[in-house]
Amino acid sequence: MSKFTPTVEITEEEEDDCVFGGAVFGIPKSVVVTIYYNESGASSVHGGGWSFNNTSCNHKLCARFKRAIEAGAIFSNHRIAKSTSGTYVETDGFIMGKYMNSDLKKLGY
């Protein structure tokens, strides 16, 4: 296993109430895909995250996204980078959030 092999988690966030101008609005649940590089040796193992509305279509999209990440189809050129707060894993990516569905299809997922 490479030190840049990601761990991908899909979680659901709970619904919260948001108070704005005295009115209470319900914020819907969301599905979150988070990447960790636990074996990288970087001081920050968090590799990024994406949040989606909690729909059945987005659950399927998240599962496809996870499979593509784990197969190594999404990120390349992994390297340790430095910032003022420590080190982190920097990558080049092959998808855009706005076009994730079509990008995943182009990559075969």
Instruction: Tell me what pLDDT residue 13 has.
Output: 81
Residue spans per domain, the chain: 7-106
Residue 10 token pair: 């899909």
pLDDT digits (tens, 9 = 90+) for 15-70: 666 666 666 666 668 899 999 999 888 999 988 899 898 888 999 999 999 999 99
Q: How far apart are CA 98 and CA 88, in angstroms?
A: 25
Residues facing 62 on adjacent strands: none
Instruction: Tell me what pLDDT residue 96 has.
Output: 78
pTM of the model as a whole: 0.80
37 touches 66 (CB < 8 A) = no
